[in-house]
Amino acid sequence: MPPNFRRDGLRLSLAVLGTLPFAQMASAADTVAAADAGTLPTATVKGTRSTTSYDTPVANTATKIPVPLREIPQSVNVVPRAVIQDQGALSINDTLRNVPGVSASLGDAQRDQVTIRGFSSINDQYVDGLRDDSLYFRDLSNVDRIEVLKGPAAVLYGRGSSGGIINRVTKKPLATPLAEVGVVVGTERQKRAEFDLNTSINDDAIRARITGAVEDSGGFRNDYFLRRQAISPSFLFNLSPDTKLTVQFDYLHDTRIADQGVPSYHGRPVDVPRETRYGSADAGAGNVESTVKSVTGTLDHRFNSNWSFHSVVRNYEYSLGRNNYTTVSSVTDGPVPTVRLGVNQRNRSDRGTLWQNELTQKATTWGVEHTLLYGIELGYQDKSDRVAAAPGTTPVNLFNPVLPVLPTVPGNAVPTNYGLSHNETYAAYVQDLIKFSPQWTVLAGLRYEILKQSRDDLTPRNVDLSRTDKPVSPRLGVVYHPIEPLSLYASYSRSFQPLADSFTFFSNSGALAPQSTTNYEIGAKYDLSAGASVTAALFDMKQTNLTAADPVTLLGVPIGTQRTRGLELSFTGEIAKTWSLFASYAYLNGRLENPFDRSGTVAVNGNQPSLTPRHSGSLWLKHDLPNGFYVAGGVRAEASRYASQYNLTTLPGYMTVDLGAGYRSKNVDVTLNLQNLFNRAYYVSAHGGAENYNMPGAPRMALLGVRYKM
């Protein structure tokens, strides 16, 4: 990275500390209740929500301020830690199976990736409200809960967010001591250990917490392996009754086999045993290795009961070695069908600094209550991406593959793609939560952004890019309470996605308009009790300015739109004493309206978007028994969906059944999960946009987790 960028990143990282003298000179604040652990000032606690509760009534992702979910005129789904633990989830994708309208993507065997309402979320990962768009597999050891905001969210989060965003809320230092260690073992050679330690020092002046995990696992796929190490220390400094500083460090190293599933044959994934792997006989040569490091500083200060300040800066570094991974160049029919395998090498690196400053104001004018949020966001990102290939391809029997030792990519191979990208963000936004009366609330927001993007193409094609976008992103929603526990809402929001964020570049990319997504939504939210809620949402989302390559000129040309209309339903919380339910259903009617698509020989106009099932749903029911025991069970179902927008390969619909049981005491938690009880053969994901990378779902397997609390 150039020295000036290192200096700029350091300056930004220290900027939070530079605000401390100003913060400490402020007057003492009135005490108010805090939404998250450590939020100032201290409040009187009259009760606590059980750590085993499935219902989360308050979330920050949608508004950046603590607001009850029924006050938010947009669909928000929260997967709490209790559900993650009870289901034995080991990945982000495992947790998101509970969220309506979300389908898993293979993610090119290198990253967490899902589709939300039919739109790819490849760049829509966040951590504590900050962009985390590097391409890797996240760990759950430091995750308190997952919040999914549906629809465009550009007012608060900037570019991207077509279908929605996924925000990981991390564990923060607590006032009370905590010491937990746990292990998970499984019948598919899963071996994982976790720890979570917390302490308070000097009469709560300093809090410290450290979480981490070590994993060395196998899997049901032939030769599969996963080795990872994660550690996340964090510190909270109570500088005064009204000021706190939180510093968080994160380190993750992940190495796993580069497994892209099975090819397609006659419109379906090829019919082979689900453990069948297509790749080199030297399985260890084809692996994915990623390393992620970050440091985050957060300053919170409350001036008084009406004014508060929040400043957070995150500096991160990311590297990926996708080493000698297998590609499928073609499938050939005949007496003995074959698949041709090639080998590629991909190296990515990202580094950057993101800085957000937000001022919250509470005011009353003419009897109308306002909660205003003023924000400024600054940041830069430097990205590198290099792809090279080994010469030639190797034919392999499609139905009975005898794996050869495939060639490795030579170090001096000429890259087929190699570019250096630089992004700069300058944004200002304002949001107002207006409460006209106990019955009527309006949420309005506006963001102005200057996004500078450049790319230096280091291949002979020299397809450089330089562009500046200045989008204005609006948001408007209305909430009506006919009775206290019921809210009815309607909302409008819009986001943008510049072409420079895609992985395809054209010589005219700098002149092409960004993709724009508009969402109209109506819905209802009802609090059945203090620990249960139900939501329903109807939406109409449309993305315009889709672009593809003209096969004659090789220029990028507009080809049309993608539209999804749908219904989402969810239930979280207690249905009766000792009975808890986490359930969801989604109906998605997706359609591509691309009459001018000239990127291939297959017409896509009128087709269904990739990985967008018409019907999908999940259910998880838990019953608490006497003496700390519980039993649970659930289902996950998806209708058929297509692997790509060309609708040539169909992933059949499926339903799986899971069971769970456990025991919780003061010192020991035990969980047992039996997944895919009936050993259903199915396909859980594909690499959306490609036909020959389809991942089978796991067979019947058991996971045992034991957690000791000191």
pLDDT of res. 632: 98
- What is the pLDDT averaged over residues 74-82? 94
What per-residue confidence (pLDDT) applies to 602?
78
Tell me which residue has tokens 């629809």. Answer: 151
CA-nearest of 365, 493, 482 to 431 is 493
pLDDT tens track for 145-162: 999 999 999 999 998 868
72-76, 222-226, 472-476, 556-560, range with the lowest pLDDT: 556-560
Distance separating alpha carbons of residues 640 and 694, to the nearest angstrom: 13
Question: 216-225, 404-413, 684-693: which has the minimum mean pLDDT?
Answer: 684-693
CB 53 within 8 A of CB 102: no
pLDDT per residue as tens digits for the range 90-110: 999 999 999 999 999 988 888
- Tell if the pTM clears 0.85, that is, is over it: yes
Mean predicted lDDT score pLDDT of the chain = 89
Q: How confident is the model at residue 3 (pLDDT cuts 50, 70, 90)?
A: very low
CA distances from 445 to 415, 436, 531 (A): 44, 17, 30
Integer Cα distance of 502 and 644 in angstroms: 17
- Band (45; pLDDT cuts 50, 70, 90): very low
What pLDDT is stored for residue 50 in this prediction?
A: 57
609-650 pLDDT, tens digit each? 999 999 999 999 999 999 999 999 999 999 999 999 889 999
Residue 364 has pLDDT above 90, yes or no: yes
Cα–Cα separations (whole angstroms), residue 99 to 75, 95, 662: 11, 8, 23
Digit-coded pLDDT (tens) for 333-353 = 999 999 999 999 999 999 999
Residue 37: the pLDDT is 40
Mean pLDDT of 266-275: 96
β-pairing verdict for 368-389 and 650-651? unpaired
What is the C-alpha to C-alpha distance for residues 697 and 681, in angstroms, rounded to an integer?
7
Q: How confident is the model at residue 599 (pLDDT cuts 50, 70, 90)?
A: low
Residue 8 has a pLDDT of 45
E strands present in 333-367? 338-365
Residue 437: the pLDDT is: 95
Spatial distance between the Cα atoms of 375 and 14, rounded to a whole number of angstroms: 19
Q: Residue 144 has what pLDDT?
A: 96
What is the model's pLDDT at position 406? Answer: 94
Cα 412 to its chain centre, rounded Å, is: 36
Closest alpha carbon to 108 in 419, 391, 320: 320
pLDDT at 48 over 90: no
- For the stretch 555-594, pLDDT in tens is 777 788 999 999 999 999 999 999 999 999 999 999 999 8
Higher-scoring residue by pLDDT: 388, 284: 388
pLDDT in the model for residue 42: 35
7 pLDDT more than 50: no
For residue 23, is pLDDT > 70? no
Exposed / middle / buried, residue 459 (Cβ in 10 Å: 0-12, 13-18, 19+): middle
What confidence score (pLDDT) does residue 4 get?
A: 45
**Is the confidence at residue 47, as pLDDT, over 60?**
no
Contact 477, 494 (CB under 8 A): no
SS3 640: coil
What is the b/e burial string over 290-319, where b = at least 16 CB atoms within 10 angstroms of the residue's CB?
A: bbbebebbbbbbbbeeebbbbbbbbbbbbb
Report phi then psi at 663, rounded to 5: -140, 135
Q: Per-residue pLDDT for 26 more than 50?
A: no
Q: What is the C-alpha to C-alpha distance for residues 103 and 573, in angstroms, rounded to an integer? A: 23
Chain Cα centroid distance, residue 478:
27
The residue-averaged pLDDT of 238-262 equals: 96
Q: Is the dihedral of CA 69, 72, 73, 74 positive or negative?
A: negative
Q: Which of 7-16, 271-280, 587-596 has the lowest mean pLDDT?
A: 7-16
pLDDT digits (tens, 9 = 90+) for 522-537: 999 999 988 899 999 9
**pLDDT for position 560:** 86
**Which position has the higher pLDDT, 427 or 603?**
427
Better-predicted residue by pLDDT, 37 or 149? 149
Whether 600 contacts 646, CB under 8 Å: yes
pLDDT digits 0-9 by tens, 111-135: 899 999 999 888 899 999 999 999 9
